Amino acid sequence: MKPNYRILILTFLLSMIAEAETVEITFEALPNLLESRNPKVEASRALTEAAFSRTGYLGRSFLPSLTLLASQETFKIGQTTGRTQPMYGAELNMNVFNSGRDLIESQLRTLSAERKSVEHLRITSEELQKVRNLFWETLYIQEKIKLLDSTMKVNQKNLSTAVRRVRSGVATESDRVEFEMKAVDLNRDLSESQLKLVEYKNQIAVLLNLSENAEIKLPEIISHEHDLENLGLHSEKDHEYLYKENELQSEASALASKSINRSWLPRLDAFAGYHQYNQRDKDPVNESDRTESVLGVKVSISLAHGWEGARESSALLKESQAFKKIADMQKKETEIHLKNEIAMLNLLHGQVHEAEENIIRAEKYYKLTQSEYIRGVKNSPDVLSASEKIYEMQNKKIEIIRDFQVAKAHVLSKLGK
């Protein structure tokens, strides 16, 4: 009996592991899952945090720079006997005035951090759109597989009816062959759909950084919403991330140009120092005569850039103007795209209801055709065509719902939702 108990315990544990590896995903949960698990989003967040950690440069630029030095040296000068003496000192440097370049550098770092923040929003939005699209494509394939399965059962039923009619002499072999060929087509379509289902789930697993053993469980039914009014309500702030990067880059290029133009202006530094030298550096025998202290200010002007600096400044200014034009164009394009996509959503929403009505018509047509087939009025191609119409109308409906949801995901992505 003990081995049986072990098998039961092992089976129980394996079932618990399998259950733990099942990941249930809903459309509403996708944003949080992506934010917490997607490697690209996590990397973007880390880069944003790194950029913000570099801000506040202006205040730090006025902090003094302190250098401490000390050594113990054994040396010999000429014919003198060897000596061992220490050498130590301290130097303090402080930026007093840098012609506004430190302020510009601080502003550039702030702009860089803001760009990274906007880039993070864009990357998150793009990755969210990808996983949302895959979510609806997967739900569509799930529904299609169920639809194919039910259609195959109907086709098998019609095949059985055709076989009976052939045996009774009221139909020919061609009736049977019609349904057999259709069965092959349906089976091929089913196999392709099952393969796509695995492919889509694997892609979702990659985007959400799930383990290879994770079993993704999605809702069973693909559905659509009826209230689209709130979706059309948005402000410019919702989608400014689509063009904000270029706006910020325009500002950064203008500031960089301004900074180069100030390279000709003077820099003022204050400095202080104290040194205790040994006799290798200073001749006096007394240690007190080898001390040195200094306190002063220094004015410096860098002439390194020359005319090349003026050229670079001009180039950066042109870059700034170019990025501004691109941002303005993107802003207008975004508004137009949103209006068009919301209009398309309304169109697809209406088509869903039209498809539902067509399904009712197709089912009625199939029943009438099947009744006439049994009475000998219609042939197998008529029944096959009628059953295909049901499949086509049902598949068309879930295709439209999928297209509706994918279009909606695109709109939500542009609105940063």
Which tens digit of pLDDT belongs to each residue from 304-328? 666 777 888 889 999 999 999 999 9
| Stretch among 72-81, 148-157, 200-209 having the lowest mean pLDDT | 72-81
In a domain, 396, yes or no: yes
pLDDT at position 2 is 47
| 83-97 vs 22-24, strand pairing mode | unpaired
Q: Are residues 155 and 292 in the same domain?
A: no
Which has more pLDDT, 230 or 275? 275
pLDDT exceeds cutoff 70 at 17: no
In a domain, 389, yes or no: yes
pLDDT at position 211 is 86
In a domain, 12, yes or no: no
pLDDT at position 306 is 61
3-class secondary-structure state, position 29: coil
Q: What percent of the chain has pLDDT over 90?
A: 42
Q: Are residues 404 and 354 in the same domain?
A: yes
Q: Which residue stretches of 38-100 are H helix?
A: 39-53, 57-61
pLDDT at position 1 is 41
Residue found under tokens 């733990």: 20
Domain limit, last residue, from 246, 280, 300: 300
Query: How far apart, in whole angstroms, are the C-alpha atoms of residue 366 and residue 384?
Result: 9
Which has more pLDDT, 80 or 266? 266
Residue found under tokens 């086509």: 392
DSSP 263-292: GGS-EEEEEEEEEE--TTT---SSGGGGEE
Instruction: State the total domains in the chain.
Output: 2
Closest CA to 240 of 330, 345, 312, 338: 330
DSSP 309: H
In a domain, 6, yes or no: no
In a domain, 14, yes or no: no
Q: Are residues 357 and 262 in the same domain?
A: yes
Query: How far apart, in whole angstroms, are the C-alpha atoms of residue 154 and residue 367?
Result: 12
Both tokens of 155, joined, read 């086709």
**What are the pLDDT digits (tens) for 192-229?**
999 999 999 999 999 999 987 888 888 877 777 666 66
Task: Decide if 163 contacts 176 (C-beta within 8 A).
Answer: yes
Query: How far apart, in whole angstroms, are the C-alpha atoms of residue 309 and residue 3?
Result: 84
Task: Decide if 22 contacts 215 (C-beta within 8 A).
Answer: yes
pLDDT at position 227 is 62
Task: Decide if 96 contacts 269 (C-beta within 8 A).
Answer: yes
Q: Are residues 261 and 376 in the same domain?
A: yes
**What are the pLDDT digits (tens) for 380-412?**
788 888 888 888 899 899 998 899 889 888 888
pLDDT exceeds cutoff 70 at 5: no
Q: pLDDT averaged over the chain? A: 86
Q: Are residues 90 and 102 in the same domain?
A: no
Q: Are residues 207 and 274 in the same domain?
A: no
DSSP 80: S
- Averaged over 224-244, what is the pLDDT? 72
Query: How far apart, in whole angstroms, are the C-alpha atoms of residue 380 and residue 160?
Result: 12
E-only strand ranges, 98-129: none
pLDDT at position 77 is 81
Task: Decide if 158 contacts 366 (C-beta within 8 A).
Answer: no
Q: Are residues 272 and 356 in the same domain?
A: no
In a domain, 182, yes or no: yes
Both tokens of 197, joined, read 């289902």
Closest CA to 85 of 93, 75, 96, 100: 75
In a domain, 377, yes or no: yes
| 22-24 vs 215-217, strand pairing mode | parallel
Neighbours of 377 (CB within 10 A): 10
Q: Are residues 35 and 143 in the same domain?
A: yes
H-run or E-run covering 70: strand 65-75
Distances, alpha carbon 110 to alpha carbons 45, 62, 98, 103, in Å = 16, 18, 19, 11
**What are the pLDDT digits (tens) for 86-107?**
899 999 999 999 888 999 999 9
Range of the domain at 41: 21-55+98-266+308-414
**Strand partners for 166:** none
Domain limit, last residue, from 254, 278, 300: 300
Q: Are residues 156 and 276 in the same domain?
A: no
Q: Are residues 37 and 126 in the same domain?
A: yes
DSSP 262: G
Query: How far apart, in whole angstroms, are the C-alpha atoms of residue 397 and residue 377?
Result: 31
Q: Are residues 123 and 142 in the same domain?
A: yes
Give the pTM: 0.81
CATH number at residue 326: 1.20.1600.10
Task: Decide if 134 contacts 208 (C-beta within 8 A).
Answer: no
Q: Are residues 110 and 38 in the same domain?
A: yes
**Strand partners for 71:** 87
Domain limit, last residue, from 250, 276, 300: 300
Which has more pLDDT, 379 or 242? 242
In a domain, 7, yes or no: no
Query: How far apart, in whole angstroms, are the C-alpha atoms of residue 224 and residue 399?
Result: 12
Task: Decide if 365 contacts 383 (C-beta within 8 A).
Answer: no
Task: Decide if 258 contacts 104 (C-beta within 8 A).
Answer: yes
pLDDT exceeds cutoff 90 at 237: no
